[in-house]
Amino acid sequence: MSAAREMLCDTARAVFAEAAPAGMGPIEEAGFALLLVPEDAGGFGGDWGDVNAVLQIAGVVVPDLPVAELIVNDALQPAATVSLMAGAMGQALALSIEHVNTRQQFGRPLGKFQAVQQSLAVMACEVRAVEAAAAALAARLDAVGLDVAAAEFEIAATKLRANRAVGVVTAIAHQVHGAIGFTREYELSRVTIPLMRWRGAHGNDAYWAQLLGRQVAEFGGKGLWEALTAR
């Protein structure tokens, strides 16, 4: 990660933490609305890689605030949602690992049981896939200057992939947590409930699968590979 992006992330972490109890005020004051505005127009001059990094943090710290709406236009909301989802899934995984390493049953940490290890490996694969898809989408959006039409394949593929991961990730995270994860006090539901909501927002599975399937059908069997490798 570049030094500039790292600084941006540090700022986002601090400002979002302040906003978590206070609402959008601190985020607006810190100027996050200018993230994508070019420098010569008085903005931060960021790219989608920056948006992806910032929204992953927002997905963990302020999942219920309209940060994505503040930063990007309507057409890019599906892409923005993917970044929120990637962040929240990373957090669900981190909480799960921490929990199974500390919670003891049968005289051992839960994480020492193979069944638990295998479940978390499955979950980690889903999280990694969504993070990779979000990063690849960012690369595409930046390559085409945020032209949504030119990145339609990647937006569809990424939102669909992220949607499909939600079921696996939320189910395993809650399963390994046991009853504590089902409480309002414990922080897991602060990311799992938003994940459930985001799955249906800005295009559910059926919507993106249809759109992508029709596009690929037009490419044809051989054309799919040619299209993938030409992008």
Partner 1 sequence: MQGFALYPFDPPGDVAARRDELRAWLAVNQPQGDIVARANCWASFDADFSRALGAAGYVGMTLPARYGGGDRHPLERYVVIEELLAAGAPVGAHWIADRQTGPLILRYGSEEQRERYLPGIAKGELYACIGLSEPGAGSDLAAVRTTARETAAGWRINGQKIWTTGAHFSHIMLALVRSEEGSERGAGLSQLLIDLDTPGITIRPIIDMAGHHDFNEVFFDDVLVPHGALVGTRGQGWQQVTAELGLERSGPERYLSSHALLAALIDAAGADPDPAVASLIGELAAEMWTLRRLSMSTAAKLAAGEDPMVEASVVKELGNAFEQDMPRRVQAIVTSGWDDPDDLARLLRALLIASPSFSLRGGTREVIRGIIARGLGLR
Read off the tokens for 41: 């127009």
Q: How far is the CB of 34 from partner 1 (least distance, A)?
A: 24
Q: Name the site residues for partner 1 (rule: CB under 8 A).
A: 1, 90, 93-94, 97, 100-101, 111-112, 114, 116-118, 120-122, 124-125, 127-129, 131-133, 135-136, 139, 153-154, 156-158, 160-161, 164, 205-206, 208-214, 216-222, 224-225, 228-230
For residues 16 and 58, the answer to whether their CB atoms sit within 8 Å is yes
Q: Which of 177, 185, 174, 183 is nearest to 98 (CA)?
A: 177
Tell me whether residue 19 or residue 160 sits nearer to partner 1 (CB atom).
Answer: 160
Q: What are phi and psi of 104, to 5 degrees?
A: -110, 140
Write the DSSP string, the chain. Answer: --HHHHHHHHHHHHHHHHHHHH-SHHHHHTTGGGTTS-GGGTS----HHHHHHHHHHHHHH-TTS-HHHHHS-GGGHHHHHHHHHHHHHHHHHHHHHHHHHH-EETTEEGGGSHHHHHHHHHHHHHHHHHHHHHHHHHHHHHHTTT-TTTTHHHHHHHHHHHHHHHHHHHHHHHHHHGGGGGSSSSTTHHHHHHHHHHHHTTS-HHHHHHHHHHHHHHH-HHHHHHHHHH-
Q: How far is the CB of 55 from partner 1 (least distance, A)?
A: 14
